[in-house]
Amino acid sequence: MEQTKPKLLLHTCCGPCASAVIERLVPRFEVHCLWYNPNIQPQAEYQRRLEAMRTVAEAMDVPLIEAERDEAEWEEAIAGLEEEPEGGQRCAVCFHYRLARTAQYAVGHGFTHIATSLGVSPHKNIEAINGIGRRQADGRELDFVDENFRKHNGFQRSVQLSKQLHLYRQNYCGCRYSQRQ
C-alpha cells in the first residue's frame, strides 16, 4: 500500500528557482506551490515571473495557489528601508513578509510542512532565510524544511530546467530598489 506523503506548501519566488526545489521535494512530500511575491515590480515583470511559475507548475504537475498581490501593504512593511543595500534590512523584512503569509496560509489549509525556494539563488543569504522560515513555522505546529537547496548543484539544476522549459529568467531580485542597484 502506498504511504501518504506529508502535505507541504512551497513558497515559490520564481519559476527557475522553484523548478529545482519541486524536483527535490516531490519524492518525499505532496507539494503544493504558493505564489506570493508582492515585492516584484513593476506589474509587467510580476506577470512575466508568474507566467514562468505557471509553466513550471504545469510541467511538474503540482498545484499552484496564486495569492493576491498586496503591493501597497508590502511597501508599507519596508517603509524607511528603501535605501538599504540588497541583502540588508529591507530584504530581511521582505523575506519575513512573504514567509509569514506562507505559514498563515499553510495553517489554514491543512499543511504540515512549509519550505521556500528563496535560498536557491547564490545572491541570497540562505541562513537568514532559513532562520526566518523556522521562526514562522515554530509555534504554528508546522515543520519548516530546513534544507540548503543550493547544495548538490541545486542552482545549476535550476538553470538547466529553466533552459529545458524555456523559462524567463530575471536579472534583478524583484523590487524597484533592487532594479535600481
The site for ligand SF4 (CB under 6 A) is made up of 39, 86, 90-91, 94, 173-175, 177-178
Closest by CA position to 137, among listed 104, 95, 91, 89: 104
- Identity of the residue, 82 or 146, whose beta carbon is nearer to ligand SF4 in the bound complex: 82
DSSP 101-165: HHHHHHHHTT-SEEEESGGGSTTS-HHHHHHHHHHHHTTTT-EE----TTTTTHHHHHHHHHHHH
Q: What is the smallest separation between the CB atom of 12 and ligand SF4, expressed in angstroms?
A: 14
Q: What is the smallest separation between the CB atom of 127 and ligand SF4, expressed in angstroms?
A: 15
Grid cell, residue 174, equals 524583484
How many Å is the maximal CA-CA distance in the chain? 56
- Identity of the residue, 62 or 69, whose beta carbon is nearer to ligand SF4 in the bound complex: 69
- Identity of the residue, 39 or 162, whose beta carbon is nearer to ligand SF4 in the bound complex: 39
- Identity of the residue, 19 or 178, whose beta carbon is nearer to ligand SF4 in the bound complex: 178
Q: What is the smallest separation between the CB atom of 123 and ligand SF4, expressed in angstroms?
A: 9
Q: What is the smallest separation between the CB atom of 124 and ligand SF4, expressed in angstroms?
A: 8
Closest by CA position to 10, among listed 71, 45, 60: 60
Instruction: Find out whether the peptide bond into 16 is cis, omega within 30 degrees of 0.
Output: no
Q: What is the smallest separation between the CB atom of 13 and ligand SF4, expressed in angstroms?
A: 9
- Identity of the residue, 9 or 175, whose beta carbon is nearer to ligand SF4 in the bound complex: 175
CA 60 to CA 58: how far, in whole Å?
A: 6
